[in-house]
Structure 1
Amino acid sequence: MKCNPKLRSPATHSTAAAVLVLSVTMMTGCAQTAQVQPQTADTRIGKLSFENGFPTEETARKLFDEMDYQRAVQAYLWGYPAVSFESIRVGTLRDLGADLTDMVIADNYADPKGRWLTANDTTIYGYTNVDLGKSGPIVVELPAGALVGIIDDFWQRSISDVGLPGPDGGKGGKYLLLPPGYKGNVPKTGFYVLQGTMNNYNVMIRGIVQEGDRNGAVQTVKRVKVYPLSERRDPKPNKFTSMSGKVMDTTPPTGMAYWERLSAFINNNPVQARDLFYMAMVKPLGIEKGKEFKPNARQRAILEEAARMGDAMGRVMLFDGPDRFRQVGEGLGIDPFPGTNWHWVFQVNPVQQTDSYGQIDERLHYTYGAIYTTPALGIMKAGPGGNYAQAFKDKNGDRLVGGKSYRLRVPANAPAEQFWSLTLYDTATRSMIQNPSNDSARSSLDKLKTNADGSIDLYFGPVASAPAGMEANWIETLPGKGFYPMMRFYTPKAGLFDGTWKLPDIEPMK
């Protein structure tokens, strides 16, 4: 407001007195306003100085560096799901030689030799990466059978389930994935048509092993076809490459490599409307749509520090995010078994937003530790699909460490129609713990020793810590490393949600 103490001449003595008071008050207010503007400010980045209201050259430099640093940290957190999927594409090509539309299969299950964010060893994975900008429309053709599949964009947003939870219902079918803004002809029949909003998508299929028939599940996955629509009359056979027992790394990199992958992803995909502000935030840092990423020394220093801070924040959000969600009352419900340290893995929904906000924290909590979102996972009712729980502390509230021994009692009649599995993950890599036995999981499909009441005791600890005769129920952990378990329930039953079945805390053993 512009301060102007000039007033019109009063009509009476009484109003004159009132106006005089008002005039003095206004002038005093103007004087106070002018006096309170600080010439210096003590902040977390040091003293900031202003001369006659103008920032000094040093202050301007400090504040622009701080602004770009803060924005870089937030951009790191924003970009994590996309960099993670770009890292799957890069790692698959680098370590396995599998390119776009080539299929990778865990024909002898996934195992700890490959670094994958919370993969497990109970299903036959098959996956491929596609680039609609290069191929045009892509067909994903599924045979009938026990397949559960996901098509996610590189922001890890679900565009469709396929197979048993998808519109084909396990009967087989063809899905047609169209590029963003596609104007070409679209077949009127014979396809489930999906309108893409990006060029990069990942197609992941899981073959469900039935009655121990692993080879049957492998052969079903190998009948999946992924090819350009232009080749639909005579599609070339997909190349299948095994990932079982292979050393590979699909986890997001640290440092400048993180920003290089984020820049590559941005340059290959349309910018989403929701991300325009983030694009403005990274522009002063050398990441701009349509331009090569060539940071100068100043930008590089800021980006390297922001990557360290961003990774630290991601780690905190994974391991302490559930407490944060409880405090603000958000999420899909935090605690599956009240009174324990278990919490639901899925706090983010498949589109990563609600009607009133985007799920920034929930998305980071999930994608820092895991990959893929889908409506079939995180369901909160009995039926097809799955839900997972994880814990980062034992019964006493202490962190889980590989040098100690623990027991987890899985009560009888676990609420999973298909099966349950428990996998241990390394806190540093969020991948299966790499122990000498190359085995980090147990499931109800294994031949486990069962107690008289139907419960099953699982044991975790360093070498030779399993109770005598319980080696089949034991998973080896590594001294000097933290770990955490994830419990998966496939086709959950009502007992998982109505409180009639409860998984207790992990107990430390003497």
Structure 2
Amino acid sequence: MTTNYKERLIAAAIVGALSVTSAQAQTPDSVNSRIGNLQFEQGFPTEETTQKVFDEIDYQRAVQAYLWAYPAVSFEAIRIGTKRDLGADLIDMVIADNYADPKGRWLTANDTTIYAYTNVDLGKSGPIVVENPPGAIAGIIDDFWQRSLADVGIPGPDAGKGGKFLLLPPGYKGDVPQTGYFILQGTMNNYNVMIRGIVLNNDKDAAVENVKRVKVYPLSESSNPKPNKFVSMSGKVMDTTPPMGMAFWELLSAFINNNPVQERDLFYMAMLKPLGIEKGKEFKPDARQKAILEEAAQMGDAMGRVMLFEGPDRFHRVGEGLGVEPFPGSKWHWVFQVNPVQKTDTYGQIDERLHYTYGAIYTTPALGVMKAAPGGNYVQAFKDKDGNRLDGGKSYRLHVPANPPAEQFWSLTLYDTATRSMIQNAPNDSARFSQDKLNTNADGSIDLYFGPAGSAPAGSEANWIETVPGKGFYPMFRFYGPKAGLFDGTWKLPDIELVK
């Protein structure tokens, strides 16, 4: 080894040592941050800095916990609102026997389907049976995280022929019937069973009658089940949307205390503990915790709104080679960016889940199918053809080309941007669908119109939906029983155009 080479090695070692010393010496005694100046004395945080940092940690975690908790609080809000506004308890069936309508606040419900639903609590009832009749029914069983456990009816394992589904509580050790049931192993106590009666040949009464044949009862009563109490939600004023402020956290605490903690959620439970939300404990936040939680709920709600209306540009349908646009170059987006289990092989879909559950409810493999199949797929738009937001004080036209790719039917519903529920207008009617008596063009296409009172084009009143000046709105177009044309580019829904 030459002398010059040894000298270079020694010099490099000295430079390295000086670099380490320099890096260590750069640890600052003062840090300017978004929460103010943070002071450290001899490396130790001052008392003021400690309080600022812990408050910031808890605030940041509270905001993220709000986003994580949204689907569960949304379903808990449905359970609470159902009992408060309709007097319907667990296992009681709520039915939209004259369709849902804008008087009730529901995240993107529509008034073209016969809905029925019930809430169950396996911790109180034990195993639950969902007995589904044959016929045009498409149902969903979701846990309160809005993860799909099973489809029921046409898209389910019974394939529309009817069948019995047995929902077992988490950790259930009792006897399980070996035949006659589709067995479903639950992972939590709270589930929501939702049934959609498909209206065929414009026969609403037949759809209602079929839905009323659905039975939900404890397995312990299977030899002689009690008839379900059916409560109408049609025309009723009710609110099932997630609450704001401290009420949000109160519902979350109640939900956590009634269900097993999922392994995937342990870190979030750790984030909530310093904020007074802890499994097995009553929620009694102090003044500091309340202030942080109130602010975090405001920020979380703002993030939810941004994620709903701008989120699709942040993600795409992973693994399917599909972007967020169903019709490339248009302003329409697929509604279902999240999958029914809310995760991929490499990450949990927290943004996609928030995008969907802030604006809607229920997930299922039958919704968001990307091929011709039973079930459905939906698209929504938040801007018109020119890239401007949709304004309830202006008039618009949507040209629907002939032969929309829907085996059963299609529908178009307008939603209020503030409530994500059907727009509340004087006619109490926010939707049109293919079984309405609509004016049709010579080529089979249909022109739909949206605008404030008095703006309906002469002769096209049946195709018009009244909007509300001063409020934003957005449309959702549903395809029930989607056909190949929705996915292969042979059919395209044009953008909404401003009528000048």
* 1:171-190 correspondence to structure 2 within 5 Å: 171-190=161-180
Which of 477, 481, 493 is equivalent to 1:503? 493
Which of 86, 96, 105 is equivalent to 1:115? 105
How much has 1:55 moved relative to structure 2? 0.9
User: Which residue number corresponds to residue 415 of structure 2?
Assistant: 425
* CA distance, structure 2, for counterparts of residue 279 and residue 23 of structure 1: 47
How much has 1:141 moved relative to structure 2? 0.5
Runs of 5+ in structure 2 lacking a partner? none
The letter of the residue matching 1:342 is W
How much has 1:329 moved relative to structure 2? 10
**2:265 equivalent to 1:272:** no
CA gap of 1:223–1:327, structure 2 versus 1, over 3 A, is: closer
The letter of the residue matching 2:417 is T
User: Which residue number corresponds to residue 140 of structure 2?
Assistant: 150
1:93-126 Cα shifts (integer Å, max 9, x gaps): 0000000000000000000000000001111111
* 1:183-262 correspondence to structure 2 within 5 Å: 183-262=173-252
After TM superposition, the structure 1 stretch with the greater mean CA deviation from structure 2, 318-327 or 303-312, is 318-327
CA gap of 1:331–1:63, structure 2 versus 1, over 3 A, is: farther
Which of 310, 314, 319 is equivalent to 1:320? 310
1:407-431 Cα shifts (integer Å, max 9, x gaps): 0000011111111000000000000
**2:445 equivalent to 1:455:** yes
How much has 1:33 moved relative to structure 2? 2.8
Which of 344, 349, 359 is equivalent to 2:339? 349
Which of 165, 169, 181 is equivalent to 2:155? 165
CA gap of 1:53–1:506, structure 2 versus 1, over 3 A, is: same
CA gap of 1:356–1:16, structure 2 versus 1, over 3 A, is: closer
The letter of the residue matching 1:226 is V
Which of 22, 26, 38 is equivalent to 1:36? 26
CA contact (8 A) 1:331 1:347 kept: no
User: Which residue number corresponds to residue 69 of structure 1?
Assistant: 59
CA contact (8 A) 2:392 2:469 kept: yes
How much has 1:324 moved relative to structure 2? 1.9
1:410-464 Cα shifts (integer Å, max 9, x gaps): 0011111111000000000000000010000001110000111111000000001
CA contact (8 A) 2:317 2:324 kept: no
How much has 1:214 moved relative to structure 2? 1.1
Alignment partner of 1:373: what SS?
coil
How much has 1:34 moved relative to structure 2? 3.2
* CA distance, structure 2, for counterparts of residue 413 and residue 476 of structure 1: 25
Alignment partner of 1:66: what SS?
helix
Which of 300, 308, 326 is equivalent to 2:290? 300
How much has 1:49 moved relative to structure 2? 1.0
CA contact (8 A) 2:133 2:213 kept: yes
Q: CA RMSD in A?
A: 1.7
Which of 343, 346, 360 is equivalent to 1:370? 360
CA gap of 1:23–1:119, structure 2 versus 1, over 3 A, is: closer
The letter of the residue matching 1:108 is N
CA gap of 1:24–1:199, structure 2 versus 1, over 3 A, is: same
**2:329 equivalent to 1:335:** no
Which of 55, 60, 75 is equivalent to 1:85? 75
User: Which residue number corresponds to residue 493 of structure 1?
Assistant: 483
How much has 1:383 moved relative to structure 2? 2.0
* CA distance, structure 2, for counterparts of residue 179 and residue 322 of structure 1: 36
Which of 444, 459, 470 is equivalent to 1:469? 459
How much has 1:23 moved relative to structure 2? 5.5
TM-score by length of 1: 0.96
CA contact (8 A) 1:341 1:392 kept: yes
TM-score by length of 2: 0.97
Alignment partner of 2:130: what SS?
strand
Aligned residues: 500
User: Which residue number corresponds to residue 5 of structure 1?
Assistant: none
CA gap of 1:23–1:498, structure 2 versus 1, over 3 A, is: closer
**2:127 equivalent to 1:133:** no
**2:87 equivalent to 1:60:** no
CA contact (8 A) 2:317 2:337 kept: no
* CA distance, structure 2, for counterparts of residue 351 and residue 333 of structure 1: 20
Alignment partner of 1:464: what SS?
coil
How much has 1:385 moved relative to structure 2? 1.1
* CA distance, structure 1, for counterparts of residue 20 and residue 173 of structure 2: 62
* CA distance, structure 1, for counterparts of residue 464 and residue 20 of structure 2: 76
CA contact (8 A) 1:331 1:348 kept: no
How much has 1:20 moved relative to structure 2? 4.8
CA contact (8 A) 2:317 2:323 kept: no
Which of 276, 295, 303 is equivalent to 1:286? 276
Which of 85, 89, 105 is equivalent to 1:99? 89
CA gap of 1:417–1:51, structure 2 versus 1, over 3 A, is: same
How much has 1:27 moved relative to structure 2? 4.3
CA contact (8 A) 1:332 1:347 kept: no
After TM superposition, the structure 1 stretch with the greater mean CA deviation from structure 2, 53-62 or 296-305, is 53-62
* CA distance, structure 2, for counterparts of residue 442 and residue 23 of structure 1: 77
User: Which residue number corresponds to residue 3 of structure 1?
Assistant: none
The letter of the residue matching 2:467 is T
**2:390 equivalent to 1:407:** no
Alignment partner of 1:368: what SS?
helix
The letter of the residue matching 1:357 is Y
CA gap of 1:331–1:277, structure 2 versus 1, over 3 A, is: farther
CA contact (8 A) 2:439 2:446 kept: yes
The letter of the residue matching 2:118 is T
CA contact (8 A) 2:83 2:89 kept: yes
Alignment partner of 1:403: what SS?
coil
**2:299 equivalent to 1:309:** yes
How much has 1:15 moved relative to structure 2? 8.4
Alignment partner of 1:322: what SS?
helix
CA contact (8 A) 1:411 1:456 kept: yes
How much has 1:208 moved relative to structure 2? 1.0
* CA distance, structure 1, for counterparts of residue 317 and residue 30 of structure 2: 36
CA gap of 1:239–1:32, structure 2 versus 1, over 3 A, is: same
